[in-house]
């Protein structure tokens, strides 16, 4: 399953203790069955330029609880709003 994610920009960035870069992205996510895109902050290990992306979603069980994850490292630029 893929979700549409609209990246507005980088909200925060830095370097972790293990010396790897990280980014907090200000985003809107289009969720199935929800009328309007929902605002959220997403953690990523790479900076994404502002724009719309198709992002794979993974569902699993962790510690006996449902777990949902957006795989931003596999994000693909969306065709929405681009000239054909």
42-67 confidence digits (pLDDT tens): 999 988 899 999 999 999 999 999 99
What does the mean pLDDT of the chain come to?
A: 89
Which residue's entry shows tokens 């994404």? 48
Tell me the pTM. 0.78
**Assigned token pair, 75:** 């994000």
Q: How confident is the model at residue 83 (pLDDT cuts 50, 70, 90)?
A: very low
pLDDT band at 73; cut points 50, 70, 90? confident
* Residue 53 forms part of a structural domain: yes
- The pair of three-digit structure tokens given for residue 78, joined into one six-digit string: 């969306």
Q: Tokens representing 20?
A: 């790897």
Strand, coil or helix: 34: coil
Q: Are 40 and 30 in contact (CB under 8 A)?
A: no
Residue 44 in domain: yes
Residue with the bigger pLDDT between 80 and 46: it is 46
In a domain, residue 84? The reply is: no
CB 26 within 8 A of CB 8: yes
In a domain, 24, yes or no: yes
């Amino acid at each position: 399953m893929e979700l549409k994610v609209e990246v507005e920009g980088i909200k925060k960035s830095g370097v972790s203790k293990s010396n790897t870069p990280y980014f907090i992205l200000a985003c809107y996510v289009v969720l199935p069955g929800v009328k309007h895109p929902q605002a959220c902050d997403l953690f990523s290990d790479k900076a994404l330029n502002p724009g719309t992306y198709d992002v794979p979603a993974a569902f699993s069980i962790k510690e006996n609880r449902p777990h949902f994850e957006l795989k931003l490292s596999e994000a693909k630029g969306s065709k929405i709003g681009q000239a054909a």
